[in-house]
Amino acid sequence: MQVSPPDRGGREAILRIHTRQIPLAGDVDLAQPAKTTPGMTGAELANLANEAALLAVKRGQDEVTQADLSDALEKVQLGAERALVMPLEERRRTAYHESGHALLGMLQPGADPVRKITIVPRGRALGVTLSTPDADKYAYTEEYLRGRIIGALGGMAAEQVVFGVVTTGAENDLEQVTNIARGMVARWGMSERVGRLSALPNDAQQAYGLAAAPQTLDVIDGEMRRIVDDCYEEACRKLTDHRGQLDALAEALLERETLEEADAYRIAGVTRLTKDIEA
């Protein structure tokens, strides 16, 4: 069985446990990071508390403040900043790549809102687009999953549409795409041809060698390709149709390196749907 990530109350409790040994400043409200971290696991939250404590020490404080917590959250979600001098052409390509992810995320109804876009290299990536849900989600619709695939293909699609070539920067994106497509087809009954059965084991069952018949694996492969090809076509078509908005985002990124949620939506000219915002 997969363990589902803790809900909001659970996250707050986990943060409370992991900050028990850490002196917290009076302004610290653990409900705040608990609210903005749907999907995070207990281990990731423990890491967050740790990073905040390290940051406070580095800053010469004897208490962890709310600012330390929110900076630590950024590091945990986006990866550590990396000093890297990128040639202009590479920066331009990265700006379009991230803008492709972001714009498709903004245009997809029901997709998780885009929180931040950056072309400051972080972790192993040359740029990052961060999308997180407004509230805890427990089940996903087919439309939402297709939207996730389209968004993940958005970086590659933008490079294709703008430069006519695709670089190796999309490896991580393709892993994500493959995982979602495999789940849709082989585990969540979203392909008519495979049918409503769990045809591929999840990771836990894999250890026992349970797998589908070879013919079923062929059908799964074909269905995964069909879904991903459809989504890639849609990604390219949407970016071509919205080229002006893509250019605007990429230019703003080249100039400012990092865009926060409100600016990103304004520059892209997309109205953020507020219907599902939590109070």
- Residues forming contacts to Zn ion in the complex (CB under 5 A) are 155, 173
Q: What are 227's two structure tokens?
A: 């879904």
Strands 258-260 and 114-118, how do they pair?
A: antiparallel
Strands 128-131 and 258-260, how do they pair?
A: unpaired
Taking the least distance from each CB to Zn ion, the nearer of 168 and 271 is 168
Residue in 98, 159, 223, 234 annotated catalytic? 98
Neighbour order of strands in the sheet with 128-131: 128-131, 114-118, 258-260
Taking the least distance from each CB to Zn ion, the nearer of 17 and 84 is 84
Q: What are 30's two structure tokens?
A: 């653990």
**In sequence order, what are the residues at sequence separation of 6 or more whose Cβ sits closer than 8 angstroms to the Cβ of residue 63?**
23, 24, 25, 56
Is there a contact between 187 and 202 (Cβ–Cβ < 8 Å)? yes
Taking the least distance from each CB to Zn ion, the nearer of 24 and 153 is 153
Q: What are 78's two structure tokens?
A: 């986006």
Closest residue to Zn ion using C-beta atoms = 155
Taking the least distance from each CB to Zn ion, the nearer of 51 and 173 is 173
Q: Tell me which residue of 142, 214, 178 sits closest to 199, measured CA to CA.
A: 214
98 carries an active-site annotation: yes
Taking the least distance from each CB to Zn ion, the nearer of 6 and 155 is 155
Phi, psi of 83 (to 5 degrees): -80, 120
Is there a contact between 92 and 250 (Cβ–Cβ < 8 Å)? yes
- Say how far residue 194 (Cα) sits from the centre of its chain: 28
Least separation in angstroms between residue 166's CB and Zn ion is 11
Least separation in angstroms between residue 170's CB and Zn ion is 5
Q: Is 114 left (phi over 0), alpha (psi -120 to 50) or beta?
A: beta
Taking the least distance from each CB to Zn ion, the nearer of 71 and 257 is 257
Least separation in angstroms between residue 154's CB and Zn ion is 8
What distance in Å separates the CA atoms of residue 95 and residue 12, rounded to the nearest whole number? Answer: 35
What distance in Å separates the CA atoms of residue 189 and residue 141, rounded to the nearest whole number? Answer: 11
Least separation in angstroms between residue 147's CB and Zn ion is 16
Least separation in angstroms between residue 64's CB and Zn ion is 33
Least separation in angstroms between residue 101's CB and Zn ion is 6
Active site residues: 98
